């Protein structure tokens, strides 16, 4: 089949905020213990951080990491995780039914962020705790000295404040599974008061209001409108969470899930702007999509109650999952004007692009590759593509374009990049990419992920689902013609 995409230098959606390539580490399963932190591992450094994992995270390109949860944060006492390790208590961790040893806490995370060349996005507990403990944690992290919590940090060996800029106000507070779940009104009030005090401690921080746990929640929409109405002045972003699955084995519908994602994002933008209009304010609330991924392969796995760092939510991803992740990323970039932060959930071992063995190896899952390529090349501005693509109908959606795409323009480096997924299971797309206002640009590289069965996976012994290079497509004037294989993720770079 044939398709055509046109992009123009002047038709920008918005600048891409690097933080959309964020990720997430929760105290859950082996994300921390056995993931980023494993003293005694042959490749652990003197602080117990796995250097093989840090290397892979650097390769992936992750500028911000959300921590420490997730559902975990709603029962977390941050004080348990600071100070001499031998004095820290082990706790019953109710969110995931395990024992939390507290060997790794706030300061270890900050140290790890520095080594991993990323930055922290902290979450505060608004489930079992409230504004008081939240403001104390901001003081502990960000105040220089001369007060109780700043001096406590110094007594723990960290003289300089960590300067944490981004703060999530709780997590999924609308969910019945959440410790201290709340109504939108209860949450909006407590989030507002917490954010207010946190910003009084450090006016330079930005805060993220917890939105609905997903768009299928009964209170979806009302939740955001009510909570935002109550907390508008003290928050900067509203969060979105969404995971997709293919439990029914319906690949055509699974690949089209990003259409639902697009609608979800649009609904939240509208809700933010509805509250903005109601308040007659100039302040705009942007979006933090701080949990997104495919998640379902591990849902029925057995986890021993009250064990420590069990194998939990260790999804092994396949090729079609990687294509869905690519479509999700493309969709996030298509909203670059409003989605300023996004976190692939999660980063290591728990529904993650990187898997490790305790004491052993690590490997890159299939979803690692689209994320890596997009984090590396999607720089500058997202361009609004005019897409002329054949469409299909499936069980869950109608009019699904076979081609899912975004283009980016990095003015500083004179580079335009096309990212596209061919959703067709059996047909190539003969694609024309027309670039307007980019005189002298031509295709210089073409990488793709294709030729795999939808269920093909990577493992410790084989990373076969990866990207590969193709012959550079021909550019004739402002049109470049490329052949996109069935079920493929494609990256074409253009330079002057
Ligand atoms: O990422 C796993 C869990 O998914 C998080 O703890 C929670 O916020 C969400 O429901």
pLDDT digits (tens, 9 = 90+) for 123-180: 999 999 999 999 999 999 999 999 999 999 999 999 999 999 999 999 999 999 999 9
Residues with CB under 6 A from ligand 1: 26, 69-71, 171-172, 291, 345-346
Confidence of residue 299 (pLDDT cuts 50, 70, 90): confident
Catalytic residue among 172, 193, 224, 415: 172
Place of tokens 């770079």: 493
What's the rounded Cα separation, in Å, for the pair 102 and 77?
10
pLDDT digits (tens, 9 = 90+) for 240-265: 999 999 999 999 999 999 999 999 99
* % of the chain at pLDDT higher than 90: 99
Distance (angstroms) between ligand 1 centre and the Cα of 157 equals: 32
Distance (angstroms) between ligand 1 centre and the Cα of 141 equals: 24
Distance (angstroms) between ligand 1 centre and the Cα of 208 equals: 16
In the beta sheet, which residues pair with residue 288?
239, 341
Q: Which of 29, 67, 70 to mutate to test the pocket of ligand 1 (most atoms within 8 A of CB)?
A: 70
Distance (angstroms) between ligand 1 centre and the Cα of 213 equals: 9
What's the rounded Cα separation, in Å, for the pair 208 and 121?
10
What's the rounded Cα separation, in Å, for the pair 83 and 106?
10
| Cβ proximity of 171 and 71 under 8 Å | yes
**Is residue 172 annotated as a catalytic residue, yes or no?**
yes
Residue with the smallest CA separation from ligand 1 atom 3 is 70
Mean pLDDT over 305-311 rounds to 98
pLDDT digits (tens, 9 = 90+) for 57-70: 999 999 999 999 99
Ligand 1 atom nearest 96 alpha carbon:
6
pLDDT of amino acid 262: 98
Residue with the smallest CA separation from ligand 1 atom 2 is 70
pTM over 0.85: yes
pLDDT digits (tens, 9 = 90+) for 454-467: 999 999 989 999 99
Distance (angstroms) between ligand 1 centre and the Cα of 431 equals: 38
Residue with the smallest CA separation from ligand 1 atom 4 is 70
Ligand 1 atom nearest 69 alpha carbon:
6
Residue with the smallest CA separation from ligand 1 atom 6 is 70
Mean pLDDT over 89-107 rounds to 98
Confidence of residue 300 (pLDDT cuts 50, 70, 90): confident
Catalytic residue among 38, 79, 291, 320: 291
Mean predicted lDDT score pLDDT of the chain: 98
Ligand 1 atom nearest 345 alpha carbon:
1
pLDDT digits (tens, 9 = 90+) for 177-236: 999 999 999 999 999 999 999 999 999 999 999 999 999 999 999 999 999 999 999 999
Pick the closest to residue 489 from 457, 458, 452 (CA basis).
452
Pick the closest to residue 81 from 63, 107, 61 (CA basis).
107
Distance (angstroms) between ligand 1 centre and the Cα of 236 equals: 22
pLDDT digits (tens, 9 = 90+) for 409-430: 999 999 999 999 999 999 999 9
């Amino acid at each position: 089949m044939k398709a055509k995409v046109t992009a123009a230098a002047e038709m920008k959606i918005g600048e891409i905020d690097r933080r959309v390539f964020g990720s997430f580490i929760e105290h859950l399963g082996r994300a921390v213990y056995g993931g980023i932190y494993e003293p005694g591992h042959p490749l652990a450094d003197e602080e117990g951080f796995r250097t093989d994992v840090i290397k892979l995270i650097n390769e992936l390109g992750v500028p911000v990491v959300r921590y420490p949860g997730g559902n975990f944060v709603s029962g977390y006492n941050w004080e348990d995780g600071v100070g001499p390790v031998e004095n820290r208590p082990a706790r019953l961790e109710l969110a995931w039914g395990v024992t939390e040893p507290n060997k790794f806490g706030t300061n270890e995370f900050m140290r790890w962020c520095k080594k991993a060349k990323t930055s922290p996005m902290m979450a505060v507990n608004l489930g079992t705790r409230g504004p008081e403990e939240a403001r104390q944690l901001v003081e502990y992290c960000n105040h220089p000295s001369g007060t109780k919590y700043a001096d406590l940090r110094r007594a723990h060996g960290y003289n300089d404040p960590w300067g944490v800029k981004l703060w999530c106000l709780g997590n999924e507070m609308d969910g019945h599974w959440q410790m201290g779940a709340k109504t939108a009104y209860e949450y909006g009030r407590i989030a507002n008061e917490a954010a207010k005090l946190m910003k009084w401690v450090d006016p330079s921080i930005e805060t993220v209001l917890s939105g609905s746990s997903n768009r299928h929640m009964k209170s979806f929409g009302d939740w955001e409108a009510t909570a935002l109405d109550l907390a508008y002045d003290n928050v900067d972003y509203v969060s979105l969470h969404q995971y997709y699955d293919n439990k029914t084995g319906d690949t055509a519908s699974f690949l089209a899930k990003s259409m639902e994602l697009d609608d979800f994002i649009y609904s939240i933008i509208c809700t933010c702007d509805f509250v903005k209009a109601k308040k007659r304010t100039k302040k705009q609330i942007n979006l933090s999509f701080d949990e997104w991924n495919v998640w379902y392969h591990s849902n029925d796995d057995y986890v021993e109650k009250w064990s420590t760092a069990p194998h939990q939510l260790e999804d092994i991803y396949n090729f079609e999952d990687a294509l869905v992740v690519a479509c999700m990323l493309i969709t996030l970039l298509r909203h670059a004007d409003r989605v300023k932060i996004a976190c692939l959930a999660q980063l290591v071992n728990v529904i993650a692009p990187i898997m490790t063995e305790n004491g052993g190896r690590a490997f890159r899952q299939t979803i690692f590759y689209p994320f890596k390529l997009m984090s590396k090349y999607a720089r500058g501005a997202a361009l609004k593509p005019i897409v002329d693509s054949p469409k299909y109908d499936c069980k869950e959606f109608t009019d699904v374009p076979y081609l899912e795409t975004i283009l980016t323009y990095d003015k500083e480096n004179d580079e335009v990049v096309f990212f596209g997924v061919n959703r067709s299971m059996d047909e190539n797309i003969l694609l024309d990419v027309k670039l307007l206002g980019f005189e002298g640009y031509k295709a210089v590289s073409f990488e793709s992920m294709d030729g795999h069965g939808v269920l093909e996976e990577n493992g410790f012994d084989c990373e076969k689902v990866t990207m590969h290079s193709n012959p550079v497509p021909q550019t004739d004037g402002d049109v470049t013609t490329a052949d996109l294989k069935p079920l493929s993720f494609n990256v074409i770079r253009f330079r002057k």
